Amino acid sequence: MLQLQQTVLTSVAQGADHRAILDQVCRLAEQLLPNSVGSVMLLDEKDELLNVYAAPNIPPEGVARLNGLRPGPGAGSCGNVLFTAVPQFVSNTFTDPRWEDLRQIAYDFNLCSCWSIPVYSAERKIVGTFALSSFEHRSPSPFHQKLLEIGASIIGIVLARNKVEASLRLFETAIAGSEEGFMVVDTGLHILSVNMTFTRMYGYSAEEVIGQTLPMLRSDEHDETFYSGLWANVRRFGRWQGEVWKRRKNGEVFPEWLNISAVNDTEGTTTHYIATFSDISRRKSTEAQIQYLSSHDALTGLPNRMLFQDRLENAIANAARDHRRVALLDLDLDNFKLLNDSLGHSAGDTLLRAVALRLKGCIPETDSISRLGGDAFLIALTNIDSVDAINHVLIEVLAQVASPLDIDGRPLSLTCSIGVAVYPDDGDQFETLLKRADKAMYHAKEAGRNTYRFFTEQINTDSLAHLRIAHSLRAAVRAREFALHYQPQIDLRTGALVGAEALIRWHHPEEGLVPPNDFIAIAEQTGLIVEIGDWVLREACRQAVAWQRAGLPPLVVAVNISAVQFRRGDFEQSVLTALSESGLAPRFLEIELTESVLLHDMEIMLSLINRLKDLGIKLAIDDFGTGYSSLSYLKKFKVDRLKIDQSFVRDIGRDPEDRAIVSAIVQMARALNLQSLAEGVETPAQLEFLRAQGCDEAQGYLYSKPMPPEAFEVFVRAMGDEVREY
């Protein structure tokens, strides 16, 4: 065995051809196991099939029948080595199931036994097998097992050496000291060689990348389709060149100009790929700067008219497909020329940049703003599904522009006039919409400035009402024009009073009592709902404690919470403040949420709900059945009560589907050990149906309309003992 090692290693040192060395290993092993033949089989490029690579004493017809061997449980000793990744010693090939697929070969060539062991690459990957096949039925001794191990090890060394030598020969053909990056990879895209320019460009040393695959250098700028197309072109045409975004070692993404060429052997088979590349970051930066300057306003950095028009036309095309609207806002600052002449052009430029920054903060990133020149701006609002969405932005823009600005230490106030044209109502071309928005803007100027006008008169009427309510709401918040009314909640089994829902009312100084449906949505759009909601929470808690101090039995007060208020991030603190200021015990406060609130950012909502529940606060799902069909949140959130929406209760006397829905909700609540409460109960027939279904509680005009605190107190006292804690 030592002589075998010495002989083979001498051949390696003398630079003998690697195939000749592998044949030599087979012959020397055969001498140590008489009446046998040695063979080396290697996996193909796809790592799927085994082919004979060296077998000096196996006849050509035998080699031909062994080539293309697919590893598997019945694929002989060598096929099983690849299938199981462990040596295989078969002493009887005629009966052993591991030779089931090759049984005929065993018979035809009298291969009675076969011992096979894995051959590993330098990366410890199995690349093939070394086998001794005997014409006798025999099992290997420890000596023969060691012989196979040493032979496989030598074969792995020879193959690795040949691979390295081939890589070095290829690298030597490259241009030494090239200013371009240079890389050699094998057909498996493993990196074999790189030059110094590569290391400077990417930040990796040669040792860090050799043996790794090309995907380690990829950025996220291209998907798999891009790379599949690239390599398809290389395989078809033998080369590819183009711009590719790559990633340096420090994570920086950069553009490079890449050339890839295939290297073929004498038989035309691709064996390697050579890549040359250069960093084109500076060129791209220059091109981007030129492109930016050609499409943006130099003063504000906003898109110019040409780029804005292109974006608006794309938005119109998308809106036409999705049946949505696009709004074009033509904004002009009021009396800007007077300010500019008074302060000087430098201060005027500062003012325009500040206004541009504020306008950008009023719209989503998907929308566009442009400065036409002077003090004129254009805004495109895309994916609009209602006029209310436009109104919301208009109110925000007016408020932001009107907020005082500090220019060179002097506070300045501005206003603006806005004209609005809407696709498709007012046109489907940029020029048409611009002319009509401009006309509407002049109508806003004529109306006294600091306002907006729509080109379409009917939208104008609705929007003016929206604007009037929004402005009035701001004053109402400051003047505390709101009040809470309370609607009783009744136990259907006992008739006892179990709680009250707090419902907001707006006492407008000119229009009288304004119902919630007329202002809550606008309050949410303007953000005023947060301040209003905080007041409702504090006032409801204060009133509940006031009733208790007046001698009324403790009652749970339920408060509706807007999704805007609940998600703003400090709702928990609002609740704690309301409880602390009022002195109300948490068990007498119930928070009512809609289903949709719980289904956004569920993990965050779950954490918040759990903290509130840990305080002792109750949780009700309002308008149940009108939101999402997924009910998994009922298991995750500690819900106490389901409130059946009044739209189902209203028609249970004549609509069998509503009756079925109500019945199903009641049964589900009971199965989940939750209370059920029906809203909008107005008739005895509705009440009897709900009782028959086992609904727990109800509220509605059958018992009482929402009442001011004083009237509600009279109602409670009239109930006498028929009051219980929920």
Identify the pLDDT of residue 630: 54
CA dihedral 250, 251, 257, 259 (to 10 degrees): 80
Q: Cβ distance 187 to 272 under 8 Å?
A: yes
Please give the Cα distance from 256 to 252 (Å, whole number): 13
Tokens of 60: 């050509």
Least trusted range by pLDDT, from 60-69, 369-378, 594-603: 594-603
Does the structure show a pLDDT above 90 at 261? Answer: yes
The partner residues of 621 in beta bridges, in order of sequence, read 593, 642
Strands 497-508 and 556-560: parallel
Burial class (CB in 10 A: 0-12, 13-18, 19+), 119: buried
Cβ neighbors of 17 (< 8 A, separation 6 or more) are none
Structure tokens at 189: 């895209």
Note whether 425 and 456 are within 8 A (CB): yes
Lowest mean per-residue pLDDT among 38-42, 553-557, 622-626: 622-626
Question: To the nearest whole percent, how much of the chain has pLDDT over 70?
Answer: 93
For 489-501, what is each residue's pLDDT tens digit? Answer: 999 999 999 999 9
Mean pLDDT of 522-544: 89
φ and ψ at residue 677, rounded to 5 degrees: -135, 130
**Average pLDDT of the residues of the chain:** 88
Numbers of helices and strands, H then E, in the chain? 27, 26
Name residue, tokens 């035809």. Answer: 108
Alpha-carbon dihedral 703, 705, 711, 712, rounded to 10 degrees: 60
pLDDT at 600: 64
Q: Which two tokens stand for residue 702?
A: 């059958």
Q: What share of the chain is helix, strand, coil (3-state, %, to 5)?
A: 50, 25, 30
pLDDT digits (tens, 9 = 90+) for 663-714: 999 999 998 899 999 999 999 999 999 999 999 999 999 999 999 999 999 9
Phi-psi region of 647 (alpha: psi -120 to 50; beta: other; left: phi over 0): alpha
Which pLDDT score, from 0 to 100, does residue 118 have? 96
Query: Cα(151)–Cα(325) distance, rounded to whole angstroms?
Result: 76
Q: Which structural domains are found in the chain, ordered by start?
A: 2-166 (3.30.450.40), 175-284 (3.30.450.20), 296-471 (3.30.70.270), 530-705 (3.20.20.450)
3-state secondary structure labels for all residues of 632-678: HHHHHCCCCEEEECHHHHCCCCCCHHHHHHHHHHHHHHHHCCCEEEE
Tokens for 690, please give them. Answer: 């709900």
Higher pLDDT, 641 or 459: 641
DSSP 587-639: GGEEEEEEHHHHTSSHHHHHHHHHHHHHHT-EEEEEEETSS-S--HHHHHS--
Averaged pLDDT, 117-129 = 92
Sheet holding 50-54, edge to edge: 50-54, 36-43, 126-134, 113-120, 88-90
Mean pLDDT of 142-154: 90
CB 83 within 8 A of CB 50: no
Dump strand ranges (E) for 237-375.
239-247, 253-264, 270-279, 325-333, 368-373
Q: Is a pLDDT exceeding 60 seen at residue 552? A: yes
